[in-house]
Structure 1
Amino acid sequence: MTATRLDPAPPVTRPPAARPRTARLVVGVAGVWLAYVVAHTVLSGRAWWWNLPDLVPPLVFVAVPVLLLPLVTLARPRRRVAAALLVGALAVGWSSAGVNAATLWHRPDPAPADAVRVFSWNTWYWDQLVATGPAGEPIRDPDRFYRFLHAQAADVYLLQEYLYIEAEDWDPIRIDDLDRLRREFPGFHVAVSGELVTLSRYPIVGERPLDLRPHLDRAWSDLPPAESALPAYHTVKTLRTDLAVAGRVLSVYNAHLYVPTVGLPTRAPDTAHDALARHDLRRANVRAIAADVAGNPNPVLLAGDLNTSPAMRLIRTLPDRLVDASGALDSPYPVSWARYGLPLWRLDWVFTSPDVAVHRYRMVPPDGISDHHGQLVVVSL
């Protein structure tokens, strides 16, 4: 018998392993991003010198790990490590990304006949910048401004930036538009403090401007500035009004928190222009609200321009009694602030106590007369 010669089996080919340097680079980038996200979660709203990272666009907390995931294939044999780091970063950063996942399942109840329609809006210096001339100069157009307000058909208006602004030094200029307001909204009750105006179809049975100074960590010598034409603009950033609604009292908080210091966290000691001071002022804003809400037995609605994106952890220091109304929005990524014609992210919020039902909530485009969307919310007690 002749033996049959067997050819040797072809060698098994495997994908070449990535170069160790490439694998280390991918793992390193994933690790650095996870470290940044953890640091942001710990330091945002707590450390004044974290100002610049605090301004990061919220969506990066989703976009960065998602964009890096395809690179995991280059990290053999450390793919699992790289993937775990990116998934961890996505999990930790998810709450800072501004994604409104609740809109997928939350269905508000229909509004009853006696529901209250509330419109909150940062007016962008009232009617000062409503229109522009041929050279880009601002032109007042009060009629257009009031047409926009009337179009909202609200029972309660919470308006911020009731002032003009000095173009060179950005100092507030006091205005008096109360006569026009009362003509435009006959029968409405009006409360004013500094830059904050609350208009209500319901009787205002109490009003309380919340002075932030008792809640500061340290005193600032120029708060308010001695030469300011509107001292309350610097010290009162929330106006509480108690409204008589259907036999009960609804406490409405009209809020406009200080803007974070824009750019590098520079120091200008002993002045409110100092980055540490601005951090202190923002925290004091929230503490003033928290202290007042804690002693308030009434149903509560808080709305306004909080100058706080979803990425800024300061928003999470509001009292637990206040519930974010975002689930009633119909957008998976709500945006309320725009610049250069581009919708960017959210700075405006609505919170309620659990005994206030939110039936409708939407962002209202500002018709080109503000850089903030309005917030229209329909609630009942």
Structure 2
Amino acid sequence: MTDTRVVTATAGPEPARRSRWRTWPLLSAPIAWLVFVVVHRVLSGRVWWWQVPELVPPFAFAVLPVLLLAVALAARTARGWIAAVTLASLVLGGGATGLNLASLWHRPPPAPPGAITVFSWNTLYWDMIVGGETMPPPTGAPARDIDAFYRYLHEQKADVYLLQEYVYFGRDSKAIRVDDTARLRREFPGYHIAVASEMVTVSRFPIVLERGIDLRPWLSEERDRAIPPDPGLPGFSAVKTLRTDIRVGGTGGNGENMISFYNTHINSPVHAFPQGPDPRRLNRTQYERRLANLRALAADIDKNPNPTVLAGDFNASPATGIMRLLPERLVDATPALESLYPTSWDDRWPLWRIDWAFTTPDVTVHRYGLVRSDGLSDHSGQHLVVSTTG
């Protein structure tokens, strides 16, 4: 009798090992990105050296998880883990994406009679032109057409203009005072003008109070109290916000018809020259000044009972944690924008949003738009229509 044996083949460890080798590369990228997002949330705005990762365009926090999810859908192994890790990074980093999801449903109320039009704009060194004693504009910027510059301002039809970089720079990269008051009065007859450092506010309504906000009392360490002198423009390094209290109606000057406008230009995380977001020029001194400016601004707003509009160039993208230093009671005007991914810089190749507008709850934003500058600046302007509940 023949002994017949049935031999059953069993899978060895080799296929399992090959499966693991295929899984880890697919899973390592989502894990690495999740770790980066968590570290970013912890460190952004809290340590000076994290300013380098903050230069990443905010849309990366949305685009990269979408690409990783696409990989997860195509993967045959660990698909659920990859999707879970990627979705976690998308949720944690959602506030840094710069996406204005509110634009899909938010509809601002119509502007009532007497609503105020506000225009905020970083002018790129005012009307500075190539040649003479002034420094040429940054690489790629055309020579300034001064008449076009003022035409652009008139096109905004604003009641209040909050303008930054009212300054020239010499060839030694030192700030030089601008005095364009005569032309401003010709171009805007009957308007009121306030100037502090490199900010100028031009208002159709009477300016009752004007004050530059000094950052020096808010510098956190003694070694950072040495603000370099600015003989060409005193206060240039110490004052980066101009507050103006403007009477917009009536004659009593009470809180119901007084609005405070804060015209701000928070320090750049990099030195001004040469131009561009060069990480090699990031340093702790710039970071400390940014913190001091925002703290000084927040302290003034917290003590101010007036309805308030804050707008300007914050040199901070949606991915920049330093913006958490703003008072919690301020309301971001972004939902009134119609763009899903609003950007304001660089105006030629817009990737970042670094110009912002905020109000206190007693101010309603009826319209808000970012206005391209047609080559006159590297920033888009911010155009708002607001009213007070009073």
Of all paired residues, the percent bearing the same amino acid is 52
Q: What residue is the counterpart of 2:380 in the other structure?
A: 373
The Cα of 1:222 is off from its aligned counterpart by: 7.9
The aligned amino acid for 2:293 is: N
Matched, 1:276 2:280: no
Q: 1:105 to 1:227 in 2, by over 3 A?
A: closer
Counterpart pick for 2:268 among 242, 259, 263: 259
The Cα of 1:227 is off from its aligned counterpart by: 5.3
Matched, 1:203 2:210: no
The Cα of 1:230 is off from its aligned counterpart by: 1.2
Matched, 1:225 2:228: yes
Q: 1:239 to 1:137 in 2, by over 3 A?
A: closer
Asked if structure 2 preserves the Cα contact closer than 8 Å seen for 1:160 and 1:195, the reply is: yes
Within 2, Cα distance between the matches of 1:136 and 1:20? 51
Q: What residue is the counterpart of 1:94 in the other structure?
A: 94
Matched, 1:145 2:149: yes
Alignment of 1:323-362 (within 5 A): 323-338=331-346, 341-362=348-369
The aligned amino acid for 1:256 is: H
Asked if structure 1 preserves the Cα contact closer than 8 Å seen for 2:345 and 2:379, the reply is: yes
Q: What residue is the counterpart of 1:71 in the other structure?
A: 71
Within 2, Cα distance between the matches of 1:362 and 1:138? 25
Asked if structure 1 preserves the Cα contact closer than 8 Å seen for 2:370 and 2:383, the reply is: yes
Asked if structure 2 preserves the Cα contact closer than 8 Å seen for 1:24 and 1:75, the reply is: no
Matched, 1:304 2:308: no
Which 10-residue stretch deviates more, 257-266 or 103-112?
A: 257-266
Asked if structure 2 preserves the Cα contact closer than 8 Å seen for 1:306 and 1:348, the reply is: yes
Alignment of 1:91-240 (within 5 A): 91-129=91-129, 139-167=143-171, 169-220=172-223, 223-226=226-229, 228-240=231-243
The Cα of 1:233 is off from its aligned counterpart by: 1.3
Q: What residue is the counterpart of 2:84 in the other structure?
A: 84
Within 2, Cα distance between the matches of 1:368 and 1:27? 45
Deviations 1:188-208 (A, max 9, x none): 111000100000011111112
Q: What residue is the counterpart of 1:35 in the other structure?
A: 35
Q: Where does structure 1 lack aligned partners over 5 or more consecutive residues?
A: 1-15, 267-273
Q: What residue is the counterpart of 1:320 in the other structure?
A: 328
Within 1, Cα distance between the matches of 2:54 and 2:70? 27
Within 2, Cα distance between the matches of 1:208 and 1:29? 51
Q: Where does structure 2 lack aligned partners over 5 or more consecutive residues?
A: 1-14, 251-256, 271-276
Asked if structure 2 preserves the Cα contact closer than 8 Å seen for 1:30 and 1:86, the reply is: yes
Q: Secondary structure in 1 aligned to 2:52?
A: helix
Within 2, Cα distance between the matches of 1:76 and 1:136? 48
Within 2, Cα distance between the matches of 1:213 and 1:177? 28
Asked if structure 2 preserves the Cα contact closer than 8 Å seen for 1:224 and 1:232, the reply is: no
Deviations 1:208-263 (A, max 9, x none): 21001111112456843235411311010001000001241100000000001244
The aligned amino acid for 2:336 is: A
The Cα of 1:70 is off from its aligned counterpart by: 2.1
Asked if structure 2 preserves the Cα contact closer than 8 Å seen for 1:359 and 1:379, the reply is: yes
Q: 1:140 to 1:30 in 2, by over 3 A?
A: closer
The Cα of 1:40 is off from its aligned counterpart by: 0.6
Question: What is the aligned-residue RMSD (CA, Å)?
Answer: 2.3
Which 10-residue stretch deviates more, 298-307 or 311-320?
A: 311-320
Give the length in aligned residue pairs.
356
The Cα of 1:137 is off from its aligned counterpart by: 8.6
The Cα of 1:170 is off from its aligned counterpart by: 2.6
Q: Secondary structure in 2 aligned to 1:192?
A: strand
Deviations 1:50-93 (A, max 9, x none): 11101111000001110011222465542222111100000011
Q: 1:155 to 1:227 in 2, by over 3 A?
A: closer
Asked if structure 1 preserves the Cα contact closer than 8 Å seen for 2:215 and 2:239, the reply is: yes
Asked if structure 2 preserves the Cα contact closer than 8 Å seen for 1:128 and 1:138, the reply is: no
Q: Secondary structure in 2 aligned to 1:224?
A: coil
The aligned amino acid for 2:100 is: N
